[in-house]
Amino acid sequence: MDMETTCFQLITAAGSAKSDYLEAINTAKDGDFEGAQKLIESGDVSYREGHTVHSKLVQQEAAGSAVPVGLLLIHVEDQMMAAEIFRAMAVEMIGLYKKLADQDK
């Protein structure tokens, strides 16, 4: 697989994960915590798919086979990091929404 295709595969995985994480926040805001958890899990599946491909690139580089670095790969790195941050924030926000919902009971 060429580098450009690999990069777009990673961007797609990270984007899908971020979308699920954001949707999970909105779902929790509506009080559906089970649905929010399912969306987190769905986002995790997408993220892992991207992470698997990303890990292969890291292993390739570690084995001494240079990975060409261009703007597209830098964008990939940014998107992968953003997905990780979105997940952490989504989990925290869902916890807060749940805590608020529990206080209202």
Task: Give the residue ranges of the annotated binding site for Mg(2+).
Answer: 78
| Total tally of structural domains belonging to the chain | 1
Residue pair 67/73 in contact by the 8 Å Cβ criterion: yes
pTM of the shown model: 0.90
| pLDDT tens, the chain, 105 aa long | 788 999 999 999 999 999 999 999 999 999 999 999 999 999 999 999 999 988 998 999 999 988 888 999 999 999 999 999 999 999 999 999 999 999 877
Residue pair 7/53 in contact by the 8 Å Cβ criterion: no
54 among known catalytic residues:
no
Q: Give the CATH number, domain containing residue 15.
A: 1.20.58.80
Task: Give the residue ranges of the annotated binding site.
Answer: 78
Q: Which domain holds residue 53?
A: 3-103
Residue pair 18/43 in contact by the 8 Å Cβ criterion: yes
Residues near 103 by beta carbon (within 8 Å), at least 6 away in sequence: none
Indicate which residue of 72, 75, 91, 93 is catalytic.
Answer: 75
